[in-house]
């Protein structure tokens, strides 16, 4: 587990905001993943073939992918700023 006191010992305010934003987006990724699975389960429970492009399911997996990419990007920016 990563702790801010171990990772950002000499970070300024901007770097800490970038790190916190990164973690927030990665937590959003977890939530969107859970809702994606719930939406997929709801579609499969109807007995029909699942449509991966249905509105409810598509929204959550797009949010999951975008939040993950943005979160990892911000974490990389934080790493570059701290090196």
What string of DSSP letters covers 41-64? HHHHTTSSPP-TTSHHHHHHHHHH
Which residues in 13-52 are b (16+ Cβ under 10 Å) and which e? eebeebbebbbebbebbeebbebbeebbeebeeeeeeeee
Q: Who wins on pLDDT, 6 or 75? A: 75
pTM over 0.85: no
Mean pLDDT of 69-75: 96
Is the predicted pLDDT of residue 4 greater than 70, yes or no? no
Query: What confidence tens digit (pLDDT) does each residue in 9-59 have?
Result: 677 888 888 988 999 999 999 999 999 999 888 888 887 777 778 788 899
């Amino acid at each position: 587990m990563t702790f801010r006191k171990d990772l950002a010992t000499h970070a300024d305010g901007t770097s800490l905001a970038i790190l916190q934003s990164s973690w927030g987006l990665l937590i959003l990724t977890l939530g969107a993943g859970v809702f994606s699975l719930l939406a997929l389960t709801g579609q499969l429970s109807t007995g029909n073939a699942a449509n991966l492009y249905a509105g409810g399911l598509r929204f959550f997996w797009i949010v999951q992918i975008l939040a993950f990419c943005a979160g990892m990007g911000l974490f990389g920016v934080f790493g570059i700023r701290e090196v």
